[in-house]
């Protein structure tokens, strides 16, 4: 029997993508499901919907920070809010897509998440910060940068983002299971229910 497919729309600049990245893993294991990764340029999505994150009420932003701390405590994750936020993420997203050439996309995303959301390393916005992550996975930094700057990978990120918009994605993390969209890190119970449902 074919494994269930989950489309995962993510962005390294998204706090909730960090949590969702970790929370979905045990669900995948329990259900033998396969995760299809879709990098999304969230800045483009926000502009498409005329949404400005940092223009939300200060009280809401302050509460969100405390809420993130609670999530980290609950799930025993070494999350910390980086000193530099937000950052330009297009290079990191393209680098993650480029790592598919070496079958290293998943461990590279692991490394990105840990660098920015655990070690306060905002240098991932630049190739100077991405090169060491690639090298640790056995990929030459020059080769990574060349691939990430190629027209092919640039178009791949554009297409991935437009595909997300076309499927109704308005923010990340977003998951699509059997055509149903689930938005946010706190939708894991619904995703698990969908994976447990009998196949028609």
Q: What predicted TM-score, i.e. pTM, was given to this entire model? A: 0.93
Per residue of the chain (200 residues), give pLDDT as tens: 568 999 999 999 999 999 999 999 999 999 999 999 999 998 888 787 676 666 677 888 788 899 999 999 999 999 999 999 999 999 999 999 999 999 999 999 999 999 999 999 999 999 999 999 999 999 999 999 999 999 999 999 999 999 999 999 999 999 999 999 999 999 999 999 999 987 65
Question: 5-196 — its CATH code?
Answer: 3.40.30.10
Task: List the 174-177 sheet strands across, edge first.
Answer: 34-39, 5-10, 174-177, 180-183
Domain ranges of the chain: 5-196
């Amino acid at each position: 029997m074919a494994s269930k497919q989950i489309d995962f729309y993510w962005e390294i600049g998204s706090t909730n993508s960090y949590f969702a990245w970790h929370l979905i893993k045990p669900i995948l294991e329990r259900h033998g499901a396969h995760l299809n990764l879709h990098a999304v340029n969230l800045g483009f999505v926000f502009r498409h919907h005329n949404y400005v994150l940092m223009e939300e009420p200060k009280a809401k932003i302050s509460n969100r920070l405390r809420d993130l701390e609670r999530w980290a405590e609950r799930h025993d994750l070494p999350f910390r809010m980086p000193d530099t936020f937000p950052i330009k993420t297009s290079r990191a997203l393209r680098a993650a897509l480029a790592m598919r050439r070496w079958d290293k996309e998943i461990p590279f995303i692991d490394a990105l998440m840990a660098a920015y959301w655990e070690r306060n390393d905002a240098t991932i916005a630049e190739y100077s910060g991405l090169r060491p992550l690639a090298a640790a996975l056995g990929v030459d930094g020059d080769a990574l940068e060349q691939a990430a700057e190629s027209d092919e990978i640039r178009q791949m990120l554009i297409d991935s983002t437009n595909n997300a918009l076309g499927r109704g994605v308005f923010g990340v993390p977003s998951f699509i299971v059997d055509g149903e969209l689930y938005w946010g890190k706190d939708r894991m119970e619904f995703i698990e229910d969908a994976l447990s449902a009998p196949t028609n």
